[in-house]
Amino acid sequence: MSDDNVKQQDRNDKSYDAGFKKHYLKPKYWTSWIGILFLGILAFVPAVIRDAVADLLAFLLYRIDIKFKKFVKINLTMAFPTMSEEEKEQCYRSFLRVGLKVIFGYGESFYKSGKYLKEHYLCIGREYLDEALATGKPIIFMAPHAWSIDRCGLYLSANDLKMCTMMHTSKNEVYDWFMNTIRLKYGGKVFERSAGVRAVIRALKDGYSSFFLPDEDLGVKSVVFADFFAAKKATLTTMSKMSKLGNAVVVPMLSTYNEKKHAYEVVFGKMYQNYPSGNDELDAQIMNRSIEELLQGRIEQYMWFLRVYRTRPDTESFNQLYDRKYSYEYIRDYILNTLHTGRSGDAKEVGASEGPEAANAGETSP
């Protein structure tokens, strides 16, 4: 294939062009460059010191009424109705702490060598990855939204897998360039969301594996309602279709930050069996259950600030859980007194503070 044909094919599949553009230097992007330079400084500060600063800042931020705190506590109430207010506050503190440590470490993925990054991962469940690789099929890595998702996603391409993923274009081109330069550090493809899942399916057929985030609530299109912890969640059916059409196996994967060891940790679950089943509801439940299992002992790693339960079933008359005009207390009481009446026994408890210790058994290096 000629170079011109290759370029045309890249344009057709709408993969991201990580080349540097001159207009990135315009004054409107200068604050973005200052932020990137600051992350560069932090990249060469020892993680122990960086994390100590994050601990202090998290302590201070906890005392500020940040907008997304309400979303975090609403989601925790939906997911864990038996969780006390004190436990929610403790989880929120841990959530802030982990998030800041990951953000402060973002510069490492950009400024440090691929060799350095590859040598500084912890891995749990590597045998599940090897089992999937032994099938000879492309792999869809089902990766829920966690703070460390971009850093740990690199583990796959760092281990010589041809990877592709999808991105949501932001309004800041320099930010997109920074993030996608990180994602493409070891090669691969990043498709813009406008390319649709067909671009990923084509890549799967071409031998790529996919890093796929299917747990976001994107509305009522292509969803079924399935349990996610103790509440129904609008769950995408896209992944089962991708698996079938791309002849790919699915491996659940969680990206975490191990606070005890000041290191990024990749957690793999067992490859899905008899998937897709041909039943969208069953497939959705399989996916949600695997996320629940990955989050056991690691609840603080998940991006609970997202509107996880935004889309509600028609059987529920109230669908404004995240509306700013309602207080957290009002939404909490509605959830507990209406949605979870009679379901409290079904609630699944997931610890937070014991997470890193419980998860570290059987760690291996790549």
- The per-residue pLDDT for range 82-96, each reduced to its tens digit, is 999 999 999 999 999
Please state the domain count of the chain: 1
Q: Is residue 189 part of a domain?
A: yes
Please tell me the predicted confidence (pLDDT) of residue 13: 58
In a domain, 245, yes or no: yes
In a domain, 7, yes or no: no
Q: Answer whether residue 364 is part of any domain.
A: no
> How far is residue 37's CA from residue 39's CA, in Å, rounded to a whole number?
5
Examine residue 366 and state whether it is found in any structural domain, yes or no: no
Strands, sheet with 121-124, edge to edge from the N-terminal-most edge strand:
121-124, 263-268, 249-258, 139-142, 209-212, 163-167, 189-192
pLDDT in tens, 168-180: 888 999 999 999 9
Which pLDDT score, from 0 to 100, does residue 146 have?
A: 97
User: What whole-number distance in Å separates Cα of residue 204 and Cα of residue 198?
Assistant: 10
Residue 11 reports pLDDT greater than 50: no
- Report the run of H or E that residue 255 belongs to, with start and end: strand 249-258
Please give the radius of gyration of the chain, using alpha carbons only, rounded to the nearest integer: 21
302 lies in some domain: yes
The pTM score is 0.88
Res 350: pLDDT = 53
Helix 197-205 vs helix 238-245: crossing angle, to nearest 10:
30
Whether residue 106 is contained in a domain is answered as: yes
Q: Are 209 and 161 in contact (CB under 8 A)?
A: yes
Q: Which two tokens stand for residue 6?
A: 């290759």
Tell me: the pLDDT tens digits for 40-65?
A: 999 999 999 999 999 999 999 999 98
Q: What is the 3-state secondary structure (H, E, C) of 44-104?
A: CCCHHHHHHHHHHHHHHHCCCCCHHHHHHHHHHHHHCCCCCHHHHHHHHHHHHHHHHHHHH
Other Cβ atoms less than 10 A from the Cβ of 341: the count is 10
Question: Which SS3 state, helix, strand or coil, does residue 279 take?
Answer: coil
Rounded to whole angstroms, the maximal C-alpha distance in the chain is 65
* Residue at 129: amino acid letter: L
Residue span of the structural domain in which 234 resides: 12-359
In a domain, 4, yes or no: no
Distance CA 241, CA 335 (A): 33
